[in-house]
Amino acid sequence: MAPELEGKLPDLTEAQRAAISALSKDDAVIAAPVWLAQRAHVPNDAIERQFASQDPDGFWREKAKLVDWMKPFEQVTRFEPPRHEWFVGGKLNATVNCIDRHVFGDRRLKAALIWVGEDGEEHTYTYNRLYREVNRFANALKKLGVRKGDRVLLYMPLTPEGIISMLACARIGAIHSVVFAGMGTQALRSRIEDCAAKVVVCSDYTYRRGKKVPLKPTVDEAVRDLYGVEHVIVHRRGSRPGDAPFTFESEREHDFYDIQDGHAIHCPPEPMDSEDPLFILYTSGTTGKPKGVVHTTGGYLVGTTYLARAYYQITDSDIYWSTSDIGWIVGHSFIVYGPLSAGATIFTREGVPDYPSPDVTWELCERYGVNVMFTAPTAVRMWMSHGGDAPSRYDLQKLRLIACAGEPLNPEAHRWAQANLVGQSKGMVVDNWWQTEIAAPVLGTLPTFDARPGKVGKPVPGADVAVVDAAGKPVSDGEGGLLVIRKPLPYMLRTIWNDHARYEKYWSQIPGVYTAGDIAVRDRDGYFAVLGRADDVMNVAGHRIGTADVESALLRHPAVAESAVIGLPDPVKGEKIKAFVVLRKGVPQGPGLVASLKDHVRQDLGPIATPADVELRASLPKTRSGKIMRRLLKAVEMGQDPGDVSTMAD
């Protein structure tokens, strides 16, 4: 997410400069497999990038042909910073692209969604069945008075009903806002209030590491005196269509399936202007108030449809698995809208990727023949900590591509995944960078060119990306600076819900460009490395040291699988560094290990970056999207209230 910095933007830390120097000396590559490049949707990325650079309107006009339009657009784009519009005058509906065109084409009986629960429950939805289920629930919402532009908040885990609810909202033009099923009462309430949700749809519970985690009590508390919420729809897990009606105590509560009884399986899709909002997705901000990122229908769908094919190489013959959740932007773009628009079969699983054992992910890949996977670097490092035995026990020859995003993919984890996860298929592991605010890849490694571990890749075709100093002046190749996007992309946010001034900061920190808030470096061949947040810095004895720099140094130690670093108050230095480390499987915890870890950082980054303390742990606290909760680690160390920790995976 973009920072909300005031005044001068921060300079590079000394450790970031050291990391840039180290990257410039590492020319190791992972060669793109010829067979993978030959089947790529974009076989020649250089030609595609040249097309986008020389004729950007023509480029996006061509990509818009991947989408079915109810009314053709009149103009590709209008850009008056910070305002940008795409496919002006065009009308479409996301669900027509994700469902109807497959149902009324040759994919009617093809599996659209395969879902597996943590408890082993399995369900498969063909495109035809998905069409019927989405339309039934869309008609039920309409009967409750939901109309185009109304907000419907979804507090649901990764279940078919959660995906159906998203699509049903899109069908009738309601704006959905999915909140991760696990956020606490105050977090949920603040989002309901901010978007003025008319309806809340929830599940009664979710599963987490074998335990039932109640969700309904959180909703009850959150909406207790919110009179603007007219209806609460509850998916009672275990209930199915045709079950006996259920009686709720509150008049505004309804059963998910009861309200669909008797509703038609056809619901006319609402024609949506290209710039009409499709959804609001909240992300945290430095002020503490959640930011409601608004994505619109036309540009978002064109971008995610194109990149599902071009970047993730998803075809209509693939089984595709994203280990994310519908509560995050990855779940919106590359569990639901992008892959369904491309006509793929989506595999989803509710639950964490190492429960009930480290084998579960690979057993499922073998059983269902997964071809393409999207996951987080933290998941890769977790699998790496268990060793290569688990994936080697299963047939992964069909798994040709693994894409990682969410935070930097360190070279050691990249190489391990290349050898152990796609080694059987001689496939490829690729990195990519984007944000909640930018709903699809901006930087990445396409399977048509070599990967460079430690570097995320090149700008995707159509993206104009640069590294600049605090004044907005481009820096030389090999020098670090702030990552900016010089021209808008169709799949970027349009505003912050109820706070357009907050949106304008993205384009005003450095006037005329979008400031992403990350430190990056570009090499002479056009590869970018994203080094971490510009505002995630410790100050040790007057030296600015990035947490990501020390973490990366620790990850280069052969004993380390995962690491997290925080700054703690120190009476002499101002701040001191504490590191939390998860070891690789089988590494003995001898008396010299901690000293070895400190020496490694000292030699890598210099004495000032050496952790004052290293704590060895079995695991690190993470959100469900795989990001380490450094805030929680720091609060515990300082004896403070950690605040809302409801997004924790465990």
* Top-confidence range, 106-115, 446-455, 529-538: 106-115
The amino acid at 559: A
Same domain, 455 and 525: yes
How large is the angle between the packed helices 593-605 and 14-25, nearest 10 degrees? Answer: 80
**Are both 505 and 578 inside the same structural domain?**
no
Residue 572 has a pLDDT of 65
pLDDT given for residue 17 in this prediction: 66
Rounded to 5 degrees, φ, ψ at 308 are -60, -35
pLDDT in tens, 41-70: 888 889 999 999 999 999 999 999 999 999
Q: What is the mean pLDDT of residues 295-300?
A: 98
Kindly report, residue by residue over 388-422, the tens digit of the pLDDT: 999 999 999 999 999 999 878 888 899 999 999 99
Give me the sign of the Cα torsion angle 619, 623, 627, 632.
negative
Asked if residue 335 and residue 239 are part of one domain, the reply reads: no
Same domain for 454 and 568? no
CATH number of residue 518's parent domain? 3.40.50.12780
pLDDT bucket at 570, cuts 50 / 70 / 90: confident
Q: Are 168 and 341 in contact (CB under 8 A)?
A: no
- The band of 539, judged by pLDDT with boundaries at 50, 70 and 90, is low
The CATH number of the domain where 271 resides is what? 3.40.50.980
Task: Give the structural domain span for 586.
Answer: 536-638
Q: Residue 13: pLDDT band by 50, 70, 90 thresholds? A: low
- Same domain, yes or no: 540 and 526: no
Query: Which of 93-102, 200-209, 253-262, 600-609 is the most confident on average?
Result: 93-102
The verdict on residue 644 lying in a domain is no
Q: Which residues of 251-275 are buried (b: 16+ CB within 10 A; e: fewer)?
A: eebbbbbbbbeebeeebebbebbbb
Identify the band that residue 14 occupies on the pLDDT scale cut at 50, 70 and 90: low
Residue 591 and residue 520 share a domain = no
Q: Which of 186-195, 333-342, 522-531 has the highest mean pLDDT?
A: 333-342
Which pLDDT score, from 0 to 100, does residue 179 have? 93
Q: Is the pLDDT of residue 256 over 50?
A: yes
Domain assignment present for 470: yes
Specify the number of domains making up the chain.
3
CA distance 615 to 632: 15
Mean pLDDT within 506-515: 93
Beta-strand runs (E) in 447-599: 458-459, 465-468, 480-485, 495-496, 514-522, 528-533, 537-540, 543-546, 560-570, 574-583
- In this structure, the answer to whether residues 270 and 321 fall within a common structural domain is no
Instruction: Give the integer Cα–Cα distance in Å for 474 and 604.
Output: 28
332 and 359 together in one domain: yes
Paired residues of 85 in beta bridges: 78
pLDDT of residue 27: 67
Give the Cα-Cα-Cα angle 438, 19, 403 (nearest 5 degrees). 40
More confident of the two residues 625 and 376: 376
pLDDT digits (tens, 9 = 90+) for 140-158: 999 999 999 999 999 999 9
Last residue of a domain, one of 252, 278, 304: 278
Interatomic CA distance for residues 521 and 25, integer angstroms: 13
Please check whether residues 476 and 586 belong to one and the same domain: no
Within-domain flag for 9 = no
Q: Is residue 87 part of a domain?
A: no
Query: Rounded distance, CA 130 to CA 164, Å?
Result: 7
Token pair recorded at residue 460: 């995707």
The pLDDT score that the predictor gives to residue 2 is 41
Pairing of strands 111-116, 345-349: parallel
Residue 123: CB atoms within 10 A of its CB come to 12
- pLDDT band of residue 8 (cuts 50, 70, 90) is very low
Q: What is the pLDDT of residue 547?
A: 81
291 in a domain, yes or no?
Answer: no
Higher pLDDT, 121 or 608: 121
- pLDDT at residue 625 in the model: 62
The phi, psi pair for 276, rounded to 5°, reads -70, 140
Asked if residue 416 is part of any domain, the answer here is: yes
d(CA 188, CA 215): 11
Last residue of a domain, one of 278, 305, 337: 278
Q: What is the pLDDT of residue 340?
A: 97
pLDDT above 70: residue 275: yes
149 part of a folded domain? yes
Distance CA(429)–CA(421), nearest Å, equals 9
* Judgement on whether residues 457 and 602 belong to the same structural domain of the protein: no
Query: Cβ neighbours of residue 40 under 8 Å, at least 6 residues apart?
Result: 310, 313, 446, 447, 448
Q: Judge whether 555 lies within some domain.
A: yes
Task: From 472, 500, 532, give the residue that closes a domain.
Answer: 532
pLDDT computed for residue 153 by the predictor: 98
Range from 471-475, 500-504, 588-592 carrying the lowest mean pLDDT = 588-592
Shared domain check, 300 and 419: yes
Assess whether pLDDT exceeds 90 at residue 3: no
Q: Which two three-digit tokens encode residue 163? A: 């995906």
pLDDT band at 6 (very low <50, low <70, confident <90, very high): very low
CATH number for the domain that contains residue 561: 3.30.300.30
Distance CA 79, CA 86 (A): 9
Rounded (10°) angle between helices 185-195 and 216-223: 50
Q: Are residues 500 and 631 in the same domain?
A: no
